[in-house]
Amino acid sequence: MSPTILKKRSLTEFFSPNSQKKAKYSPPLDSVISKDHPCSSHPTYPFPVPHLPNHIAEKLSESPHTEGKAINDQPDLDLLYFQPFVAKSVEKVFFEFLRSQLFFYRVQYKIRRGTIETQINTPRYTTVFGLDETSRFGPDGSIVEAATSGPVATTKYPTCQPRPIPQCLDELRKITEVFTGTTYNFCLVNYYASGADSISYHSDDERFLGPLPAIASFSFGAKRDFLMKHKPVLPKEGDAATAEINNAKPLKLPLASGDMVLMRGKTQANWLHSIPKRKSGESDKGRINITFRKAMVKGGTENYYQYNVGLGGVWRWDNKEKEMRPWQSKKED
């Protein structure tokens, strides 16, 4: 397969001629997030989420900062790698904004293997926004049927309370859709507080994503290794294709702040990926991972909220303590 390259274009180029812009001063967040700053609100939000300050939104709209490089030289692998997608002039303040303004969860859940039940403590902070293709949010924030615009039955989502993507994340979603040629209805956010936070090898190959899902994965904050390996295939005597698959080389992408990897085609069905634990480097500075994806049916909505919200309490970044702390509503009054 011959590599394909997406040419760098900014959204502003659709409406105005090219021009050289000087780097703008980025004021401290606490000077722009005032009480009257516009916010995204919803009954399911524990607290309002501020809109992006103008100086961040303007810089973000100039993405992608570099061309996307295709990586498709191994069996069933189809990636587009931006180094970076979001420019250095804004990636740091965007990371700090998201970490300080979003709400997170430290999800716990139980899995059963035969007669044995195991308690799982998610080794990272998570949050999720979105709704599958069978429904949508109405202008007032209520959930309606996508096909009829009528209200959904109260029993449609019995295990979760879906919530819309806040403006600060939706701006990035819109830009991502333009440059990946794909639409997304879900945004998952992971916060890795230190090198001890991780995610084991897995693939996002759930049926509710469809047969050839595209997932755009962003990295902000600390650099972390993104590992990939082909799923093993049972060998067949004389089958050269199987031998080629089992000889596929593992990948290690050193994801830096602002980088984005688009995983598409047969990748999820055939490759595993992980963020391993790390004890050195800059991993203790914290990292945010944002993934945009598209759930086709309501099972996707229930799955994402179960494993990214769960039943635990809300956590929020404490700028004085420089760590995530349990959040109490009375503190926000």
Contact 230, 64 (CB under 8 A): no
Burial class (CB in 10 A: 0-12, 13-18, 19+), 257: buried
Residue 79 has phi, psi (to 5 degrees) of: -120, 155
pLDDT at 146 over 70: yes
pLDDT score at 48: 96
pLDDT score at 1: 47
Contact 126, 189 (CB under 8 A): yes
**Over pLDDT 70: what percentage of the chain?**
87
**Over pLDDT 90: what percentage of the chain?**
73
What value does the mean pLDDT of the chain take? 89
pLDDT score at 77: 96
Average pLDDT over residues 228-241: 78
pLDDT at 17 over 50: no
Task: Point out which residues pair with 255 in neighbouring strands.
Answer: 224
pLDDT band (50, 70, 90) for residue 16: very low
Query: Which residues lie closer than 8 Å to 136 by C-beta, 6 or more apart?
Result: 143, 144, 146
pLDDT score at 281: 77
pLDDT, tens only, 178-193: 999 999 999 999 999 9
pLDDT at 231 over 60: yes
pLDDT, tens only, 36-63: 899 999 999 999 999 999 999 999 999 9
pLDDT band (50, 70, 90) for residue 4: very low
pLDDT at 156 over 60: yes
pLDDT at 72 over 60: yes
Query: Which residues lie closer than 8 Å to 185 by C-beta, 6 or more apart?
Result: 130, 131, 132, 133, 293, 294, 295
pLDDT score at 239: 67
- Read off the pTM: 0.87
pLDDT band (50, 70, 90) for residue 237: low
pLDDT score at 31: 52
pLDDT, tens only, 198-209: 999 999 999 999
pLDDT score at 18: 46
pLDDT, tens only, 119-142: 877 889 999 999 999 999 999 999
